[in-house]
């Protein structure tokens, strides 16, 4: 039994719905079900009744909930106290991908200011860098942690936690030839200029593999920042990898979102070096996870 399993269990107790709980935890329904099933096997009996997709706690589930809440709360508090009490030997460097701000996570600067006020002992140094540079920095140790844009299946020589999942889409100018479509097939992108937030294969490897499997060859270019990508979309006829904007775009907006429904979700992911302080990495990761919804 792990603290992580108990945390998942408590969220499901609150939501009593696998879909809502999985969304809150930024997990797939399958991953959450597997975690709960493993916990039930360890407990030796079911923790939830499921009647016509309506969940309720069993007597054993109520027993575990009552005892798990103070344990998880105490563990979270202990992690925070350890991190706050620590005085790192050097600066804790956090790299932020320029692909994420200001469009993908517009409230991220407010969270960064908050964590620096709450935990001044961390000595947190924030660097705004290209997506690939953040990944390389975390893997090689020049950065302690990083926040990047990638696709969910991507993996690295560093530890990773997905903070947000959103449908993969492309940003297009309204006068682009493909803008009349709400969603696109990969074949429609053959020969199109497509801006990506980096050139390393790992973050968007599943997308590149899908292009290869579909036999199409878009012209891939690096988008050095959101502002440059937005300019090239609007002025130079490019398409740019992104997430859909929250809610419908205004009819006066010069751009629109074109969904790529057959592909894995686009993510904001947190990376941390294996050499980073586990307590500090856990504190920042936990705070980001708790505030992931508010970051948009």
| Residues 87-116, mean pLDDT to the nearest whole number | 81
Which tens digits make up the pLDDT trace of 7-30?
899 999 999 999 888 877 767 788
Q: Residue 73 burial by CB count (10 A; 0-12/13-18/19+): exposed, middle or buried?
A: exposed
Asked if omega into 167 is within 30° of 0 (cis), the reply is no
The residue ranking higher by pLDDT, 122 or 227, is 227
Residues 6+ apart with CB under 8 A from 249: 255, 256, 257
Closest CA to 131 of 219, 33, 229: 229
pLDDT of residue 118: 67
The pLDDT value recorded for residue 25 is 75
Question: How sure is the predictor about 87, in pLDDT bands with cuts at 50, 70 and 90?
Answer: low
- The answer to whether the beta carbons of residues 125 and 93 sit under 8 Å apart is yes
At which residue do the structure tokens 């060859």 appear?
217
What would you report as the CA-atom Rg of the chain, rounded to the nearest whole angstrom? 21
Q: H or E element: which one contains 129?
A: strand 124-129
Highest-scoring range by mean pLDDT, 19-28, 37-46, 82-91, 107-116: 37-46
The whole-angstrom separation of Cα 245 and Cα 296 is 10
C-alpha to C-alpha distances, 183 to 26, 168, 193, 201, nearest whole angstrom: 24, 10, 17, 24
pLDDT of residue 4: 81
Reading phi first (left if > 0) and then psi (alpha if -120 to 50, else beta), residue 53 is in left
Alpha carbon distance 288, 161 (integer Å) = 10
3-state secondary structure of 249: coil
Mean pLDDT within 215-238: 90
**Which segments within 154-226 are labelled E, that is strand?**
159-166, 169-173, 193-196, 219-222
pLDDT for 91 beyond 70: yes
Report the C-alpha gap between 34 and 31 in whole angstroms: 5
Asked if 118 and 107 touch (Cβ cutoff 8 Å), the reply is: no
Q: Which segments within 45-187 are labelled E, that is strand?
A: 48-51, 54-57, 92-97, 124-129, 145-151, 159-166, 169-173
* pLDDT band at residue 86 under the 50/70/90 scheme: low
167: Cβ–Cβ under 8 A, 6 or more apart, which residues?
Answer: 243, 244, 259, 260, 261, 265, 266
Helix, strand or coil for residue 150? strand
Mean pLDDT to the nearest integer, 84-108: 80
Q: Give the bridge partners for 85, in sequence order.
A: none
Q: Which of 228, 232, 225 is nearest to 198 (CA)?
A: 225
State mean pLDDT over 269-279: 84
Among 46-55, 87-96, 151-160, 264-273, which stretch is predicted with the lowest mean pLDDT?
87-96
pLDDT in tens, 158-188: 999 888 888 999 999 999 999 999 899 999 9
The mean pLDDT of the chain is 86
pLDDT band at 40 (very low <50, low <70, confident <90, very high): very high
The model's pLDDT over 283-293, given as tens digits with 9 standing for 90+, comes to 788 777 765 54
Q: Which helix (H) or strand (E) holds 110?
A: helix 108-118
Q: Residue 83 pLDDT more than 80?
A: no
């Amino acid at each position: 039994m792990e603290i992580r399993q108990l945390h998942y269990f408590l969220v499901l107790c609150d939501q009593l719905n696998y879909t809502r709980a999985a969304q809150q935890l930024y997990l797939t329904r399958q991953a959450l079900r597997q975690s709960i099933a493993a916990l039930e096997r360890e407990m030796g009996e079911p923790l939830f009744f499921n009647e016509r997709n309506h969940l309720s706690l069993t007597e054993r589930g109520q027993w575990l909930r009552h005892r798990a809440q103070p344990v998880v709360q105490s563990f979270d508090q202990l992690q925070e106290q350890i991190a706050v009490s620590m005085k790192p030997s050097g600066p804790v460097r956090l790299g932020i991908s320029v692909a994420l701000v200001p469009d993908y996570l517009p409230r991220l600067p407010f969270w960064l200011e908050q964590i620096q006020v709450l935990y001044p002992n961390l000595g947190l140094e924030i660097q705004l860098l290209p997506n690939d540079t953040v990944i390389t920095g975390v893997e090689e140790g020049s950065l302690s942690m990083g926040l990047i844009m990638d696709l969910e299946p991507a993996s690295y020589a560093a530890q990773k936690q997905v903070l947000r999942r959103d449908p993969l889409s492309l940003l297009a100018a309204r006068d682009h030839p493909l803008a009349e479509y709400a969603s696109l097939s990969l074949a429609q992108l053959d020969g199109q200029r497509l801006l990506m937030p980096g050139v390393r294969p790992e973050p968007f490897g599943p997308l590149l593999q899908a292009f290869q499997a579909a036999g199409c060859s878009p012209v891939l270019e690096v988008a050095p920042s959101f502002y440059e990508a937005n300019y090239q979309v609007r002025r130079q006829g490019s398409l740019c990898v992104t997430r859909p904007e929250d809610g419908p775009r205004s009819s006066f907006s010069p751009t629109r979102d074109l969904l790529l429904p057959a592909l894995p979700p686009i993510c904001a992911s947190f990376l941390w070096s294996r050499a980073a302080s586990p307590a500090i990495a856990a504190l920042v990761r936990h705070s980001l996870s708790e505030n992931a919804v508010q970051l948009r």
